[in-house]
Chain A
Amino acid sequence: MAITAATTVKARQRPGDRIFSSATVIAGSLILAVLAAVAIFLLIESLPAFVAAPGDFSGDVTNFWSYVGPLVFGTIYSAILALIMAVPVAIGIALFISHFAPRKLSQLLGYLVDLLAAVPSVVFGLWGIGVLAPMVQPFYTNVVDWFGWFTPLAGPVSGTGRTIFTVAIVLAVMILPIITAICREIFLQTPLLHQEAALALGATRWEMIRMAVLPFGLPGIISASMLGLGRALGETMAVAMVLSPSPQVIFQLLTSQNSTTIAANIALNFPESHGVGVNILLATGLVLFVVTLLVNMLARVIINSRKAFSGAN
């Protein structure tokens, strides 16, 4: 009996312990179950859409895939445009807050950018139509006059400014906060010794950032961009309100004919649709779900593969 050290002593399991720990396990598993349920119920309800008769679709498309094709194109096109605009600005903001602004101000400035995330998307939509579109329309006219020979900028120019480019600007503003927040966290985690070493060797502040901060933060920047991409893909109301849609694949940025996005198409048509029309919209929602799920999973895998960079560490 002297060799008790070898046996492990298990804590006594009281009824309270059992109930409490199983409650937490159930809650945790419930989250996984919900995610699975989202996929399963959407799939069940979208099955009729895949075999729908040609007459059930609006316009002159004959099957589901040719219906969803232009929508997928519009979704990805607007999201990529938004990302191209948002990422450089977001990196700039994050660098400004983490390395350029006075230390005492930086937290306050971070709150200011976070406030942008607090604005509801429907307000962004109102702002996009009421303020942004009329403001940028004269610029569009000039751009089409000067650069109309370049296909994406070809005319005829939209008279209202409610084009896919305006949508991309609104989306870019909406995804700025999330990209900025993650980039900021990562830039702040750059080892101080790397930065001080660079400065001690005579680097200017920008050279220090280019040599120490940006290489360290690159995986974080990539995954932050992908999370922003996921947000932009799924954004609904701002697109639904600002865009004047058309069910085709259109590369032109500034005309009044624009490819719409999956989410906006659902929001605009769902209240009035019935019968198989509902199933078709649900099926496009399933496509959107799968696309965003893949983008988000990829982003999370990149973040997790270098755990030290995770903002939530």
Chain B
Amino acid sequence: MNPVAEASPLTNSLTAGKLPRRSSLWILLGSWAVSAAFFTMLFLSGAVDGFNIIGTVVCGTVLYCVAIYLLSRLVEGSRKATDRLMTALVTAAFVIALLPLISIIYTTVVNGLPAFLTPSFFTESQRNVVGAGGGVLHAVVGTLMVTGLATLISVPVGLLASIYLVEYGRGRLARAITFFVDVMTGIPSIVAGLFAFALFALLFNDPGVRFGLGGSIALSVLMIPVVVRSSEEMLKLVPNELREAAFALGVPKWLTILKVVLPTSIAGIVTGVMLSIARVIGETAPLLIIAGFTSSMNYDLFSERMMTLPVFVYTQYANQGADAQAYVDRAWAGALTLILIVMLLNGLARLIAHLFSPKLGR
């Protein structure tokens, strides 16, 4: 009806029938503001005690999904509206996944830091400690020894097996190994602990067997498949031209593997090994079964119970003594130590992978 608008040649047919740019951002902020206003009113009216920030964000996001769908449906049609709704939902899924991560790291740091910063925490064991005080030295030593021995067992076996799969293996045996290595990555950790227990209980004819070596065996069962998988991937990345060049020069196959293939892929293999250590160092269940728990130092893997960090966290929480808060504090501090070790291993592994990985043209 308006002759001016009708005559105007400035309407861009490409952007007609679309929501303006950045409109989704404004709608999101608007929905959060509305939801915040609603919860503020609830708070001020005295219906609830305290401003509910989680409720605000959740309600705001739900409101956004409804608003963007309706608006887009009115302006842009149902297909585009579905697209916008799904975009919102997919992004929300990602944010939902980050919430527990942030919450876990935050609570561990806040609850664990006081005991973590106590001077005795890394210099004393729990021997003869009742109530507050003491430290995790026995658990840290135990974790390092058990995991170290597990690494010593798993890396040669896993590396050799992956060399077999990539360089030698053909036919049935190789297929079976590949398949069962994949299956083994899914073995529950507690079953590995039970296996180590059953093995040594039969070997030593001792139905109450507990010692550190058993823990290393159990962790190796969990670690070997991970090492095989990651090393296999890395060995496969070595270009065949390198091997062929070595063969053409008359180098024996085993020397080719040792001097050409392994040095080329060593960074990736080290990364994989560190990630696998990070994976097993936090295992609790198998060590609870076969390594047991104690409050004293034990430097001998071959006899007596041995404390490890994850089991320390569990026992401090599960067997709280008279001064319960001290035990809970130590559990959180142990958890903080554990998370720091795991994150450090992960970070180092990524750094090695980033710095030394062969640059492949893609």
Binding site for B on A (CB under 8 A): 11, 14, 16-17, 19-21, 23-32, 34-35, 37-38, 41-42, 44-45, 88-93, 95-97, 100-101, 109, 111-116, 118-127, 129-131, 173, 176, 180, 204-207, 209, 227, 230-231, 233-237, 241, 263, 266-267, 270-271, 274-275, 278, 281-282, 285, 288-289, 292-293, 295-297, 299-300, 304, 312
Q: Is the CB of B161 within 8 A of A17?
A: no
Closest Cβ of chain B to A170, distance in Å, is 9
Q: Is the CB of A235 within 8 A of B188?
A: yes
Q: Given A120-B284, A292-B187, answer yes or no on A27-B91 (Cβ-Cβ < 8 Å).
A: no
**Residues of chain B from 46 to 96 with CB closer than 8 A to chain A in the complex:** 79-80, 82-83, 86-87, 89-94, 96
Q: Is the CB of B257 within 8 A of A32?
A: no
Of the A-B pairs whose beta carbons lie under 8 Å apart in the complex, a sample of 9, sorted by A's number, is A14-B252, A20-B258, A24-B167, A24-B168, A123-B104, A126-B331, A234-B189, A234-B190, A267-B289
Instruction: Give the residues in chain B near A266, CB-CB below 8 Å.
Output: 190, 194, 285, 289
Q: A21-B254, A275-B207 are in contact. List 5 more A-B contacts (CB 8 A).
A: A34-B184, A112-B98, A118-B282, A123-B339, A274-B207
Q: Is the CB of A206 within 8 A of B82?
A: yes
CA distance A205 to B82 in the complex (A): 10
Q: Which of B184, B198, B284 has the most CB of A within 10 A?
A: B198
Q: Chain A interface secondary structure, helix, strand, loop or mixed?
A: helix
Q: Given A16-B255, A28-B164, A126-B313, answer yes or no on A45-B94 (Cβ-Cβ < 8 Å).
A: no
Q: Given A29-B173, A32-B177, answer yes or no on A122-B101 (Cβ-Cβ < 8 Å).
A: no
Instruction: Give the residues in chain B near A45, CB-CB below 8 Å.
Output: 197-198, 201-202
Q: Chain B interface secondary structure, helix, strand, loop or mixed?
A: helix
CA distance A43 to B233 in the complex (A): 34
Nearest-CB residue, chain A, relative to B350:
A111
Q: Is the CB of A118 within 8 A of B343?
A: yes
Considering the complex of A and B, which 5 residue pairs feature the smallest CB-CB distances, nearest first? Answer: A234-B188, A120-B282, A92-B93, A27-B160, A24-B164
Q: Given A109-B94, A234-B191, A235-B188, answer yes or no on A123-B338 (Cβ-Cβ < 8 Å).
A: yes
Nearest-CB residue, chain B, relative to A42:
B198
**Residues of chain B from 146 to 178 with CB closer than 8 A to chain A in the complex:** 156-161, 163-165, 167-169, 173-174, 176-177
**Residues of chain B from 185 to 239 with CB closer than 8 A to chain A in the complex:** 185-192, 194-195, 197-199, 201-202, 207-208, 221, 224-225, 228-229, 233
Q: Is the CB of B83 within 8 A of A205?
A: yes
Closest Cβ of chain B to A108, distance in Å, is 11
Q: Is the CB of B339 within 8 A of A119?
A: yes
CA distance A262 to B185 in the complex (A): 19
Closest Cβ of chain B to A95, distance in Å, is 5
Instruction: Give the residues in chain B near A173, CB-CB below 8 Å.
Output: 97, 100
Nearest-CB residue, chain A, relative to B331:
A126
Instruction: Give the residues in chain B near A24, CB-CB below 8 Å.
Output: 160-161, 163-164, 167-168
* B13 contacts the other chain (CB 8 A): no
* B111 contacts the other chain (CB 8 A): yes
Q: Is the CB of B87 within 8 A of A17?
A: no
Q: Is the CB of B94 within 8 A of A27?
A: no
Instruction: Give the residues in chain A near B161, CB-CB below 8 Å.
Output: 24, 27-28, 30-31
Q: Is the CB of A92 within 8 A of B94?
A: yes
User: Which listed residue (B198, B199, B225) contacts A31, Cβ 8 A?
Assistant: B225
Nearest-CB residue, chain B, relative to A289:
B191
Instruction: Give the residues in chain A near B335, CB-CB below 8 Å.
Output: 120, 122-123, 126
Q: Is the CB of B183 within 8 A of A16?
A: no
* B272 contacts the other chain (CB 8 A): no
Instruction: Give the residues in chain B near A11, CB-CB below 8 Å.
Output: 253
**Residues of chain B from 243 to 261 with CB closer than 8 A to chain A in the complex:** 252-255, 257-258
* B314 contacts the other chain (CB 8 A): yes
Q: Which of B86, B91, B97, B208 has the most CB of A within 10 A?
A: B97
Q: Is the CB of A89 within 8 A of B310?
A: no
Instruction: Give the residues in chain A near B189, CB-CB below 8 Å.
Output: 234, 236
CA distance A125 to B187 in the complex (A): 20
CA distance A24 to B165 in the complex (A): 9
Closest Cβ of chain B to A208, distance in Å, is 9
Closest Cβ of chain B to A76, distance in Å, is 14
Q: Is the CB of A28 within 8 A of B252?
A: no
User: Which listed residue (A96, A101, A271, A299) contacts B292, Cβ 8 A?
Assistant: A271
Closest Cβ of chain B to A310, distance in Å, is 9
CA distance A270 to B194 in the complex (A): 10
Q: Is the CB of A231 within 8 A of B91?
A: no
Q: Given A115-B101, A236-B284, A312-B233, answer yes or no on A27-B157 (Cβ-Cβ < 8 Å).
A: yes
| In the complex, per-residue mask of B270-314: 1 if CB is within 8 Å of any chain A CB, else 0 | 000000001101111100110011000000000000000010011
Q: Is the CB of A32 within 8 A of B339?
A: no
Nearest-CB residue, chain A, relative to B160:
A27
CA distance A91 to B92 in the complex (A): 12
Q: Is the CB of B92 within 8 A of A92?
A: yes
* B107 contacts the other chain (CB 8 A): yes
User: Which listed residue (A111, A122, A180, A274) contacts B310, Cβ 8 A?
Assistant: A122
Instruction: Give the residues in chain A near B279, CB-CB below 8 Å.
Output: 118
Q: Is the CB of A93 within 8 A of B107?
A: no
CA distance A289 to B185 in the complex (A): 12
Nearest-CB residue, chain A, relative to B107:
A131
Q: Is the CB of A236 within 8 A of B93?
A: no
Q: Which of B184, B190, B278 has the most CB of A within 10 A?
A: B190
Instruction: Give the residues in chain A near B177, CB-CB below 8 Å.
Output: 28-29, 31-32
Instruction: Give the residues in chain B near A23, CB-CB below 8 Å.
Output: 160
Instruction: Give the residues in chain B near A237, CB-CB below 8 Å.
Output: 284-285, 310, 314
Q: Given A24-B168, A274-B207, A312-B229, answer yes or no on A96-B90 (Cβ-Cβ < 8 Å).
A: yes
User: Which listed residue (A29, A38, A293) contacts B195, Cβ 8 A?
Assistant: A38
* B317 contacts the other chain (CB 8 A): yes
* B357 contacts the other chain (CB 8 A): no
Q: Is the CB of A31 within 8 A of B183?
A: no
CA distance A299 to B184 in the complex (A): 12
CA distance A124 to B283 in the complex (A): 12
Nearest-CB residue, chain B, relative to A209:
B86
Q: Is the CB of A28 within 8 A of B173?
A: yes
